[in-house]
Structure 1
Amino acid sequence: MSYFQQKLNTQPTSAFELLSRLYDLTGLVYLHDQGTPVIAFLPQDFLIFQQAKLQQFQQIQFNQYRRNNEAISLIEFSKFHHAPTSNRNNSFNGGYIGFFSYDYSADQFIEIDAHPQPSFFLGQYSSFLKFQEDAWYFYSNEDQAEYIYQEILNRVNEPKQMPALSLDKQCRPRWSKSEYLNAFHQVQEYIKAGDCYQINLTQEFTAHVQGSLLSRANDLWELTQAPYAGYLKINDFELLSCSPELFIEFKNNREIKTRPIKGTMPRFDDPQQDQISKDKLSQSEKDQAENVMIVDLLRNDLSVYAETGSVETTKLFEIESFNQVHHMVSEITATLKAEINPMQMLLSALPGGSITGAPKIRAMQIIEELEGAPRGAYCGSLGYFNFDGTGSWNILIRSIQKYQNQLSMWAGGGITIASDAEAEYQECFDKISAMLDLLNTWQTSER
């Protein structure tokens, strides 16, 4: 597949500046992808699922789309060829980009109330910008590639003012502390009754807002320095990822890898105190037990479509340090069976075990009963597939979603029989307090 390639000879070099100037393009999406950033736009086709309705749109001319009378299924939409590739680092090289919400993923297995916002979006992208050799390059294999390049260049060279995001009131938890503790104790009762071993209990933080979520993206990305940061805009829905967690990476030769996070301790400015916090996590039997439950669950999820005997736990209980927290991370690898469509593998494994609990289906039923509101995109996945089946999908934690004028952010953690209610409540805030504090600086002054 030959691509028209052209260096973007223009002043703005930050992803944020480019996104700001391309804000009006349909299907605008950004993936940091562990330091191999890509900005994509104007998918040739896309699927969107919202309020139990699947729709397919096709581009008819630059930034104009028409709806197809009948939408095809995700598996039919995502066609792969397993030809040898020179794309050794598996970065995006033309293919499919999108997100799947927790709601959509869980609804494959249990009955849930879904959020009214889009539940998934998947576009087929053949035009995109990629950052390499300290510059942005435009790629396209479309017939109108040179015309698209010129249109992109025109937009990039014209600074635009996006409406800045502002909060009418502070972003606050939907639950009081007593409501959280009540849900925690109900989880413990389910564990004692033998329904489950672990439940990922989370709570929502909400605010009524004006303006664009993208306008604040750079501040949030700089604060978090997240390896799986990203952004997606479709109609009146915006999704901003500051995620540290990989869900599944699809590598060359059908190798797949997952890196679940389970176990968290806060960071501290004082190096000695920070080291104590890190060591405490490293030596925590409770967190190791919690982590290994999810490793076992994910080994089982991967084995469904993996070659027999190929599932291996390659790393266990590693401590990784991010800007606000230390996390305990493990790694599992496997080899995908030759006949399996990678999209089929991804969908069957969603939602990720690290954000549901074990056993997974019962855990999701308890989450649906206790949390009291749909998670939406939170705990879903944002990522991409190349046409050769390689790709990378994150877990949408530390993420903010905006639908119309409602902003939502969630935080929580895995509850086991050994969990302490006060510590688990505090962990919610350890994970997002820095993001929450920053968000709340954008509150409009009280009238």
Structure 2
Amino acid sequence: MRKHSFQYTLETPDIFREKALSWASSFSHCTYFNNNNIFKYPYGPFDNIITAGAQQIISFGDRNHFEELKQHYQNQPDWMVGYFAYDLKNQTEALQSGNPDHVEFPDIYFYVPEHVLCFKGNSLYIESTGAPDAILDAINNMAEGSNDKMKAPILNQNTSREQYLDTVNKLKNHILEGDIYEINYCIEFSATDATIDPLSTYLQLTRLSPTPFSVYHKFENRYLLCASPERFLKKHSRKLISQPIKGTARRGSSSYEDEIIKQKLRTDEKELAENMMIVDLVRNDLARSSETGTVKVDEMFGIYTFKQLHQMISTVTSELRADIHFIDAIRNAFPMGSMTGAPKVKVMELIERYEQAKRGLYSGAMGYITPSGDFDFNVVIRSLLYNAQTKKLSFQVGSAITYDSIPEQEYEECLLKAKAIMQTLGHHD
């Protein structure tokens, strides 16, 4: 347990935080939850938190991993930082995963950090197994930033445009036949023999695409560089909050054009139908863990603007039932509806059949659990996964396919979502 804690006032919090990230990345484990100062978001963005060092790596055996995590927390309530990969679906339903896995991340990974740095405005709160003053000195002595140049990796797109269009038409046929209503279909870009500097690559990604649920996560030789705009699930006291995204539009070249594009998104029947279907699914998922009558939609079809694009976001909340453990609330909603579709189980079977890569951490959830049992997890999208040991990297993008989908437009949406990562890796238009 962390025995020492102290609060400090920072003169230049942004500069200090970047130095703190450089300091943290020298450890075998570190995580940076980064809201990029995007505060106009219902129920707030991620708190700015840096964790460093692994006091304990939580071990998982062959049992249900959600149950194992719950048992660990009950035995030792503490900060726990980590992720649930998409393929944990196989432990919540009778499903399997057989597609190629290019970066080889485990299906679940959590650690108990040695040091926790929480940033609130100009204040820094440190919890540590060591002396907080020594940590402060070590961070202040770090050089600012990282400007390492990298050679742009050669990317392989695992699904050609023609394959993509053909698959979308097949999925639309499943919808026509009544198998499903909506499915999130994804394609992968990957590279072998890739050498990148993960920290400078992440900082460049956040400059190009600052988002409220961004994460830099290092564990041993594996890295998640995440520019996610989406929250999967948050718990604050007894309140559960889920904020699915369905509906994407490009940014305009002027504020006038932006307003036209936003209005078009706000009234697009296909995008509204997508969003509504997933809101219904999320309401159903939360109801499994919530007090009767408490599930409600706080905001429907909210339009939020980020540097790269506009998104349609809805907010669903509920009150956690007294007899439901918070880990079970996560399990009952996992994987998130915005990255699967409806009905969820049938859709996940079709995802396995038609996609050409294992999703792994992509479309999973990355976040933290506090000692008091609150938590906040994002949806791992707009994210680069890198295995420094094997020199392999991967990122995936997708879109929701409905009966009204136009395959060519869905393909263009995938490329729009890939744009910031492509630019980060040195691939420009």
Name the TM-score class by shorter chain: 0.7 to 0.9
Could you say which residue in structure 1 is the equivalent of 2:20? 18
CA contact (8 A) 1:21 1:160 kept: no
Please say if 1:96 is aligned against 2:80.
yes
Please say if 1:120 is aligned against 2:108.
yes
Does the C-alpha gap of structure 1 residues 48 and 379 become closer, same or farther in structure 2, counting only changes over 3 Å?
A: farther
CA contact (8 A) 1:79 1:387 kept: no
Whole-Å separation in 2 of the counterparts to 1:161 and 1:228 = 21
CA contact (8 A) 1:8 1:138 kept: no
Size of the alignment, in residue pairs? 409
1:197 deviation in Å? Answer: 0.5
CA contact (8 A) 1:6 1:139 kept: no
1:419 deviation in Å? Answer: 0.5
Whole-Å separation in 2 of the counterparts to 1:397 and 1:77 = 28
Please say if 1:132 is aligned against 2:120.
yes
Could you say which residue in structure 2 is the equivalent of 1:187? 171
CA contact (8 A) 2:3 2:127 kept: no
Deviations 1:160-213 (A, max 9, x none): 997947345443422110011121112112112211101100111122311332
CA contact (8 A) 1:205 1:410 kept: yes
Choose which of 68, 74, 79 in structure 2 pairs with 1:73: 68
Give runs of aligned pairs for residues 94-243 of structure 1, distance below 5 A.
Answer: 95-109=79-93, 110-113=95-98, 115=101, 116-125=104-113, 127-140=115-128, 142=129, 145-146=130-131, 150=134, 153-154=137-138, 157-159=141-143, 164=148, 166-167=150-151, 169-208=153-192, 209-243=194-228
Give runs of aligned pairs for residues 326-365 of structure 1, distance below 5 A.
Answer: 326-365=310-349
Does the C-alpha gap of structure 1 residues 8 and 29 become closer, same or farther in structure 2, counting only changes over 3 Å?
A: farther
Whole-Å separation in 2 of the counterparts to 1:438 and 1:309 = 45
Q: Which amino acid aligns with 2:233?
A: I
Q: Unpaired segments of 5 or more residues in structure 1? A: 57-71, 83-93, 443-447
User: Identity of aligned pairs, percent?
Assistant: 30
Could you say which residue in structure 2 is the equivalent of 1:420? 406
CA contact (8 A) 1:163 1:212 kept: no
Deviations 1:46-105 (A, max 9, x none): 2256xx879x9xxxxxxxxxxxxxxx91111123999xxxxxxxxxxx622111111224
Could you say which residue in structure 2 is the equivalent of 1:91? none
CA contact (8 A) 2:201 2:424 kept: no
Whole-Å separation in 2 of the counterparts to 1:80 and 1:165 = 45
**TM-score under structure 2 normalisation?**
0.87
CA contact (8 A) 1:105 1:380 kept: no
Does the C-alpha gap of structure 1 residues 167 and 179 become closer, same or farther in structure 2, counting only changes over 3 Å?
A: farther
RMSD over aligned Cα atoms? 2.9
Does the C-alpha gap of structure 1 residues 158 and 186 become closer, same or farther in structure 2, counting only changes over 3 Å?
A: same
Deviations 1:367-415 (A, max 9, x none): 1111111012111111112122212111111111102311111111100
Q: Unpaired segments of 5 or more residues in structure 2? A: 36-44
* SS of residue paired to 1:28: strand
1:126 deviation in Å? Answer: 5.5
Does the C-alpha gap of structure 1 residues 293 and 161 become closer, same or farther in structure 2, counting only changes over 3 Å?
A: closer
**TM-score under structure 1 normalisation?**
0.84
Deviations 1:315-352 (A, max 9, x none): 11111111111111111111111122111211221110
* SS of residue paired to 1:41: strand
Does the C-alpha gap of structure 1 residues 400 and 304 become closer, same or farther in structure 2, counting only changes over 3 Å?
A: same
Could you say which residue in structure 1 is the equivalent of 2:56? 45
Could you say which residue in structure 2 is the equivalent of 1:445? none
